[in-house]
Structure 1
Amino acid sequence: MIRTREGTVAEICVEREDLQEIRVEIGGSRMPALVYTDISGRVAKGDRVLVNTTAHFLGLGTGGYDFVIANLNNTKADITGAGHIMKLRYTPLQLKCLAAEEQQSKLHSVIESFESLGGRPVVTIPLHSMLGPICALAKRLKPGVKTGYVMTDGAALPAAFSKTITDLKKKGLLDIVVTCGNAFGGDLETVNFYTGIIAAVEAEKCDLVIVGMGPGITGTGTRYGFTGVEQGYIIDGINTLGGLPVAVPRISFSDTRQRHWGISHHSLTVLGRIAKTTSLLPLPELEGTKLEYITGQLREHGIEKKHIIVFNRGEEVLQAMEDYGLKTTTMGRNAEEDRDFFLGVGASVMALRGLLL
C-alpha cells in the first residue's frame, strides 16, 4: 500500500530539466517533495498535486522527501520522441524510453555487433557514495579520461534523484550516465547492465566505466537481504563480457554496527558467496591491527583464494576530493570521520594505474 495526500505547491526551491524540488502544503504543514518531470510533468506555485507521502510518514529513505504522483491542475500528458521500451513496467507510472538496444536506436548495430571487452577493467561499486571519489581521483590522475556510470536499478530508480550525478556532471567529473533495467533518466537507457556496459564502452567510448546502484541501498541486517548482492552478479557479468571486474569493497572502522566493521558483511557475502567468478580486489594499505583484521576476514570467508587481491595506498583520493570540492559522505560520515572507507575507494582507483589511467 501507499499513503497519498493532496496538497498545494507552496514553493519551488530547485528547478532542473528533469526534476523540481518543491515545498508542498498538506494539512497545514509544508513538506519537501520532489517532482520527476518525466513522470508528473512540471508544476507551478499554487498547483494542486497528489503526493506519495509513504516514506516521510514512515521516516524512511535517503533525503526525507515526499514524491509528487500527479499535477491535478494538468492531468493530460502526451508521449514525445522515439522508443518503445518501458521502464517501471506494469505500474501506473510506466514510462517509455528509447533504449540503446532497440532497432529504432542508432546504437542498435553497435550493441548487436559487440564481441568482447578484451580484458578491459570495469569497476563495480556497492554504494553510490563511492562514485564521486572514484571519478575525482581518476580525473586527477588522468584529466582527459572519459568516465561513464552505469546506474543499476538496485536502489533509487530516477537518475534525477542523485545529487551526486548532478554535481559530478556540473564539475566535468562524470561524462556519461547510462540507466539500465528499471532505472531511468540517464544520457542513455538500456535494458540491463550488460548492454549498459557495452553502450558505455562501445558507443560512448568511455575509458573508465563504473557500475553500481543509485542512492538508497536497501538492507535488512541479514546475510542475503540487501540489494548490494547485485555486485556479485555484476562481477560475473563483466567476466562474461570478457572484461576484468574491479570490485570495490566496503570498508570501515568507524561504523558502530559490528556487521559493517572492517570489510562489511555485504562485501564478504558478495565476494565469498554471490560472485562465482574472480575479480580484482584492491584493498588499502592500512596500519597494523586494521590490516590484520581485514586479512583475517578474507581468510575466514575464502576470499583470498577466490579473488586477486592487491594492496595500494589510497590517500590521494582525499586530495582529489578537496581539489574538486566534493563533500561526499557515507552513512552520514565524511572523509575525516570514516577515513578508511575513502582510502578503500582510493586504493581501487590506484589499482587502475597502468591499466586505464
Structure 2
Amino acid sequence: MKLRYTPLQFKCLAAEEQDSKYHDKFNSFKSLDNSIYIVGTLHSMLAPIASVIKWLRPELKITYIMTDAGALSLHFSKTVKRLKNEKIIENTITIGHAFGGDLECVNIYTGIIAAKTIANSDVTIIAMGPGIVGTGTKYGFSGIEQGYIIDAVNKLGGLSFAVPRISFADERERHKGISHHTLTILNDIVSTKTNLALPVLNDEYADFINNQIKSNDLDKKHNIFFENGSEVIDALNYYGLDVKTMGRSYYDDEAFFHTLGAVAKVAINFLDSAQ
C-alpha cells in the first residue's frame, strides 16, 4: 500500500512482496559488493550527474531511486521523463510512499538491493522528487535523509558518494559554499565514512570551501576528492537538457553544477579502478 490510511491509499505490488517474482532475490541477498550509489539531496542534482556519467560512459546502466522526501509521484518529474526518453537512465525505483517507478519498494534498504539484484545497475543515483522541505533550522529539512541513506548503502556493502550542496549564488548565508544542510549531515547525522567529491573552483571559492572543510574536520571524517566538474555543461548541452536549481541556470550558479560534474567523474574513476 502507498499513501496508507489516507483517502488516496492504493495498492501496488512491491518488488519484495511474496507475490512478486523478485521475492526470492531479497531473501538470498548477501552484499552490494561495492556497487556505486550516489546520494543527493535535491531533485535538480539528478540530471547533471546522470548526463555526465552517460556522456562519458554510455555503456553504463544508471538507475534512479526516488525517495518520498519530496513529491511523491514520479510522474510529476519532467526531468525523469526526459532522462528515460533519452535513455540516460534505464530504470526507476520509488520507495516508501513515493510511487510510479519501474519498481516499487517498501523502504530504502530494499530499494538499493533492488537496484543491484533486479535492475543490474552500474551506478545508482538516489534523491528525492521535486520539492525539498526546509525551515531554516539545523535539522528541519527533508534532505536530512541523505545521512541515513549513506549509512544504509555502507552497511549493506555498497560504495556511497555524498553529493554536497554547493553554491556561491544563493543569497542565503547558510547555503554559501558548502550548504549548512550538507555540513549538518556529514557532521551530525551520518555515522559511517563516505566519499565526498568536491569541484575545482577559483581561488576565492576554493579557499572558502577549504576553510569549511577544516573547521568541520570533514577531511578527518570522510574521504575527500577534488575533481574538475566543468564538463557538466558539455554533457547537458549534448543531451539538450536545460536544468535549473532553485530557479538558477548553469550560468547563474556554476559552482553548483560543477559539483555535480565532479561527483559523476569521481564515481567513474572508482568504476575504472575496479576493472
Q: Does 1:278 align with 2:190?
A: no
Q: 1:123 aligns with which of 38, 48, 62?
A: 38
Displacement after TM superposition at 1:356 (Å): 2.6
Aligned-partner residue type, residue 271 of structure 2: L
Q: 2:162 aligns with which of 237, 247, 250?
A: 247
RMSD: 0.9
Q: In 1, distance between residues paired with 2:88 and 2:45?
A: 13
Q: In 1, distance between residues paired with 2:225 and 2:259?
A: 11
More strand by share: 1
Displacement after TM superposition at 1:289 (Å): 1.4
CA contact (8 A) 2:39 2:150 kept: yes
Q: In 2, distance between residues paired with 1:210 and 1:352?
A: 11
Taking only the aligned residue pairs, the percentage that are identical comes to: 52
Partner of 1:238: 153
Between the two proteins, the alignment pairs up a number of residues equal to 272
After superposition, give the CA deviation of every residue in 1:155-203 in whole Å (9 maximum; x if it has no partner): 1001011111111111111110100001001000000011111111111
Q: Does 1:263 align with 2:178?
A: yes
Q: In 2, distance between residues paired with 1:112 and 1:209?
A: 21
SS at match of 2:127: strand
Aligned-partner residue type, residue 295 of structure 1: N
Partner of 2:17: 102
**1:150-161 correspondence to structure 2 within 5 Å:** 150-161=65-76
CA contact (8 A) 1:316 1:346 kept: yes
Q: In 2, distance between residues paired with 1:299 and 1:253?
A: 19
CA contact (8 A) 1:262 1:294 kept: yes
SS at match of 1:95: coil
Q: TM-score, normalized by length of structure 1?
A: 0.75
More helix by share: 2
Q: In 2, distance between residues paired with 1:205 and 1:235?
A: 20
Q: In 1, distance between residues paired with 2:125 and 2:22?
A: 20
Displacement after TM superposition at 1:151 (Å): 0.5
Q: 2:237 aligns with which of 310, 319, 322?
A: 322
Q: 1:287 aligns with which of 185, 199, 202?
A: 202
After superposition, give the CA deviation of every residue in 1:113-169 in whole Å (9 maximum; x if it has no partner): 111111222110111001001111111111111110111011100101111111111
Partner of 1:308: 223
Partner of 1:187: 102
- 5+ residue gaps, structure 2, are none
**1:1-80 correspondence to structure 2 within 5 Å:** none
Displacement after TM superposition at 1:212 (Å): 1.3
Partner of 2:259: 344
Q: Does 1:210 align with 2:163?
A: no
Partner of 1:200: 115
Larger Rg: 1
Q: In 1, distance between residues paired with 2:40 and 2:27?
A: 27
Aligned-partner residue type, residue 354 of structure 1: N
Q: In 2, distance between residues paired with 1:227 and 1:303?
A: 22
Q: In 1, distance between residues paired with 2:220 and 2:115?
A: 31
After superposition, give the CA deviation of every residue in 1:241-294 in whole Å (9 maximum; x if it has no partner): 111110010000000110110001110111111101100000001111111111
SS at match of 1:352: helix
Q: Flag as ranges the 4+ runs of structure 1 deviating above 2 A.
A: 353-357
Larger mean CA deviation between 89-98 and 347-356 belongs to 347-356
CA contact (8 A) 1:208 1:356 kept: no
Q: In 2, distance between residues paired with 1:165 and 1:136?
A: 12
Structure possessing the higher relative contact order (Cα contacts under 8 Å, 6 or more residues apart): 2
Q: In 2, distance between residues paired with 1:112 and 1:158?
A: 28
Q: In 1, distance between residues paired with 2:91 and 2:41?
A: 19
